[in-house]
Amino acid sequence: MAGIFAIGVAIGLIVLVLAYPNLPSLEVLTDYRPKIPLHIYTADGYLIGEFGEERRAFVHIQNVPDVMKQAILSAEDDRFYQHGGIDYFGILRAAGANLLGGGKRQGASTITQQVARNFFLTGEKTYTRKLYEALLSFKIENNLSKDQIFELYINQIFLGQRAYGFAAAAQIYFGKPLKDISIAEAAMLAGLPKAPSAYNPIVNPKRAKLRQQYVLRRMHELGFITTAQYEAAVNEPLILKRELGDYAVHAEYAAEMARQLAAERFPDDVYTRGMQVYTTLLKDEQEAAYASLRKGVMDYDRRHGYRGAESYLDLTDLHSDQDEAIDEALQDIADTGDLIPALVLAADNKQIRAYRKGGETLTLSGDAMKFAAKMLDDKAPPNKRVKRGAIIRLQKDDKGAWQISQLPEVESAFVAVTPNDGAIRALVGGFDFNRNKFNHVTQAWRQPGSSFKPFIYSASLEKGYTPSSVIADEPIVIPSSQTGAQAWEPHNYDGKYEGPMKMRTALAKSKNMVSIRILQSIGTQYAQDYTGRFGFDPEKHPPYLTMALGAGSVTPWQMVTAYSVFANGGFRIKPYIVSEIRDEKNQVLARSAEVQAGDESIRAIDARNAFMMDSMLRDVTIFGTAARASVTLKRQDLAGKTGTTNEYVDAWFCGYQMTVAGCAWIGFDQPKKLGDKETGGAAALPIWIGYMSRALKDVPVQLPTMPDGLVAHGEGRDRTLVYAENAAKEQPAEEEGAATPPPKPELDKPPSD
């Protein structure tokens, strides 16, 4: 017997002597460089995006809270700081289990063994692999301290949901940094390494809870927590993040733009190096823009009625309203922000009973179901009727009560910029990024409608017109001999014509006939070239009279750039969304080159032109089609223009205050009519107002100073502004009698656009 033992020892020594020198180098451990994803932040430091195959946030061992260390040791290796890399008691226990079970089943592994396996070996369950794992564990223990090994484990281990390491897992599962987790949360995370999929609290909440309770018991048995702490942790309800994209700020479109810019600049290691991209977004303003856009879209959607059930689930095999079975059925139906999917269990004209995803069974009645009333009737279309098995959307109202809602079909966009330097302060490229990743701010080419008129007016000022120039608001017919096709008979939005009026009034009332006559007078070719000064592509604005009505193509990005020219005194800035990119050591790799308004090399229009346009555009927000802006925000320093295209296909409002410019658009991706009276003032302006109410909250009212070279006569809206060199010249007029000012128009009731 002794001889056999001696032979065994000899063989073991031979294997050790032959195998140990051939073990891999530990350089990957001693010079640990984990794959850290690309992180995108707002200007004020809030995370808005994370990109990479592995979601990871490196944390040094001294920054890991004791409760997390204790939970891991309790779950995985309570003798970690005592053994030399191999837990012999665990090996004997595993060997016994293997002999009794007759198979090669994995026994308990130490933390050191798991580090060896994660960095150097596969997960196959063979004796050869276990031998190499043991030898590597000895080598690791002889070259690294216990804390170094523990740090590697804490940062490298896979914990489900693409999370590598406990710091990333704390953020992904609970939406908080590792230092802030509770005992109950630490126990839940510590239970994941054994089987990340089986014990995932989002996918398998019941199994995860059982595993958590086991870890808590072990923590209590080992003396890491008291009885009172144990009982409190067992009963603590855990609030899990269910959406992976749930960051502190809703800025998915901006984060994607920043990702693309970083990837273009650093294509080789952008997703593994731990780069940090800081955008120009401001958290509070971005959240205001997101909330305002969604409210504007949902308000529009409710104005046009309920379209019926989203889809249906077969409930034949569901014999009782079992929460787990329903949750599983709803698993593939994504949340869309605060629009939560729910399964109708029963419905009639008086009430609806529905189970909301991840929550409880709700009973809706009265006002909560009023929106869907017509789809509860027997006469409702069978494929849209709200009945048992129907999938509907629920949303909380202003009082926190659930009500029936629906996913909107219409899309929208909003972007805001600092006019002086081009820094993007807020950007929302659509209603929901996860549903539609098309960025409408930068990619949607749409007709601007009347929101394009200010650039025609600005061109006319260079041709000698002034805000007080009088133009006829009368019907006009362009004969077929000029159009080359059928005669063109444009009309005003409301079909009303008011005769001769000042340009100032015409812009406030968005009079189409006046814009057309101005364009006729200055020339379409000149106007086309002139609009290029604002950043527009002249080729997308053909030199025809329809340009006066905004028949060309623009993006919201171009529009906010163009309106910034009026806001900053005549300078064309270049909007930018990334301020700087830093490496894993927080060293600056790249920084945006800012150009400030005031630099004459970027002047687009004369300062006097910008001042006069600002004066007219403020009238739009006080007396004209956007009067709701000054009334709601209670300030007189707002300027802008509404826009509605032919057949109500696009609705716009672009405007500014001297410190911030913003542009809102709403329309369908496949262009179609928004509906009667869905003008820029009705559909888009409220989105702009919602954002500006936050952006201008602490900003004092301020108006531009009149530049040199202008002559002013009169006061208020009767004031005439003229270039000094033109002061003695006759004002241009394209027809006899047009130079005589008409009676002051009534503008008490804001016109529609």
d(CA 745, CA 722): 21
Show the tokens assigned to 672.
């179609």
How many angstroms separate the CA atoms of 113 and 319, rounded? Answer: 48
Instruction: Please count the CA atoms within 13 angstroms of the CA of 716 that sit on its side-chain side.
Output: 5
- Residue 130: HSE in the Cβ half-sphere, 13 Å Cα cutoff: 14
Alpha helices in 222-278 (DSSP H): 227-235, 252-265
- Per-residue 3-state assignment (H helix, E strand, C coil) for 653-711: EEEEECCEEEEEEEECCCCCCCCCCCCHHHHHHHHHHHHHHHHCCCCCCCCCCCCCCEE
- Stated as kind and residue range, the H or E segment containing 12 is helix 2-19
The single residue listed with the structure tokens 């006069």 is 612
How far from 371 is each of 419, 544, 589, 731, CA to CA, in Å? Answer: 42, 45, 53, 56
Q: Which residue has the tokens 């509605």?
A: 644
**In this structure, which amino acid lies at residue 168?**
A
Question: At CA 445, angle to CA 284 and CA 428, rounded to 5?
Answer: 15
Rounded-to-integer distance, Cα 431 and Cα 151, Å: 42
Tally DSSP H helices, then E strands, for the chain.
Answer: 25, 22
Q: How far is Cα 612 from Cα 711, in angstroms, rounded to an integer? A: 11
Which amino acid, 449?
G
Pair 408, 301: CB distance under 8 Å:
yes
CA distances from 104 to 100, 117, 193, 222 (A): 11, 17, 20, 30
In angstroms, the Cα distances linking 392 to 340, 353, 354 are 8, 11, 9
* End-to-end alpha carbon distance in the chain: 102
Contacts of 236 (CB under 8 A, 6+ apart): 182, 183, 184
Active site residues: 76, 450
Are 454 and 641 within 8 A, CB to CB? yes
Secondary structure (3-state) at 616: helix
For the chain, the C-alpha Rg in angstroms (whole number) is 34
Per DSSP, 24 falls in state P
CA of 17: how far to CAs of 10, 126, 299, 438, 711, in Å?
10, 21, 76, 61, 98
